Amino acid sequence: MPRFLQGWLADVIRFSQQRPEVYKTRQRPIYSLKRNIMVKKSEGKNPIIAEFKRKSPSGLNVNSDIIEYVKFMEANDVAGISVLTEEKFFGGSYTDLERVAENVSVPVLMKDFVVTEKQINTAYSLGADAVLLIVRILTERELISLYKYAKSYKLDVIVEVTNEEEVEIALRNNFDIIGVNSRDLSSLDLSLEKAERLLKLIPSDRIKIAESGIRTRDDIHRLKNAGADAFLIGTTLMQDPNKIKELI
């Protein structure tokens, strides 16, 4: 771990480091999330990555049918599906990832606190097309190593940033997809203003994904004006899946 982490974040990293690898023969082709985002943009749509999660440290707690949810999102032309696979704090599982990959033909992101190559092996084996790497929880050396490892599987990699220092790390390593999280991972505070500021620091030749706190079409408009290419939306859609119709 790169710096002093405490509270739930330190716990989730320890848990992730100890998680066993799951190996199966991959059953589906790789669908490019990056390519699909650009396709949706060219069609004049808001490229949305719809996230499935049962709970979160920020207070979400729902009991939706995962397959019904992801099929509904696919039918409403999302750019991709994000599946929370972290168990302790988000109620996810690798089984969730596998089931989603078996039931949709859009790109699937394994959303987790990835700190080991074992987790990337599992993501690929179970059908994920993309993984998330969080700058906050990795040293720069670890980040680069895991990025290259995921790319060796031809997976897309979203590198998540939450402040200016992390943006600088992402830019100097030429990462092609950068996720800007409006939520502070330690305090859990949300700030779309911060996200707007960070998005404007990232050149237009990168794919920029706005994450967290997106509730309305106005929020999307704000973030798009700041440079966002796509929008990862979880809590809003978990609480009301039909919102996808107005957001897309």
Cβ atoms of 104 and 134 within 8 Å: the answer is no
Whether 117 sits among the annotated catalytic residues: the reply is no
Catalytic residue among 111, 166, 194, 208: 111
Helix axis angle, 192-199 to 217-225, nearest 10°: 30
Whether 53 sits among the annotated catalytic residues: the reply is yes
Note the pLDDT tens digit of each residue in 17-69: 888 899 999 989 999 999 999 999 999 999 999 999 887 776 656 778 999 99
With a threshold of 0.75, does the pTM exceed it?
A: yes
Note the pLDDT tens digit of each residue in 60-116: 567 789 999 999 999 999 999 999 999 888 889 999 999 999 999 999 999 999 999
Whether 46 sits among the annotated catalytic residues: the reply is no
Does residue 173 lie in a domain region? yes
Does residue 69 lie in a domain region? yes
Whether 45 sits among the annotated catalytic residues: the reply is no
Whether 154 sits among the annotated catalytic residues: the reply is no
Query: Looking at residue 51, which CATH number applies to its domain?
Result: 3.20.20.70
Does residue 102 lie in a domain region? yes
Helix axis angle, 66-75 to 94-103, nearest 10°: 40
Catalytic residue among 181, 182, 194, 208: 181
Does residue 138 lie in a domain region? yes
Q: What is the DSSP string of 143-165?
A: HHHHHHHHHHTT-EEEEEE-SHH
Total number of domains in the chain: 1
Q: What are phi and psi of 122, to 5 degrees?
A: -65, -45
Whether 246 sits among the annotated catalytic residues: the reply is no
Does residue 1 lie in a domain region? no
- Domain, as residue range, for 84: 34-247
Note the pLDDT tens digit of each residue in 158-215: 999 999 999 999 999 999 999 999 988 877 888 899 999 999 999 999 999 999 999 9
Whether 111 sits among the annotated catalytic residues: the reply is yes
> Within 10 A of 87 (CB to CB), how many other CB atoms are there?
16
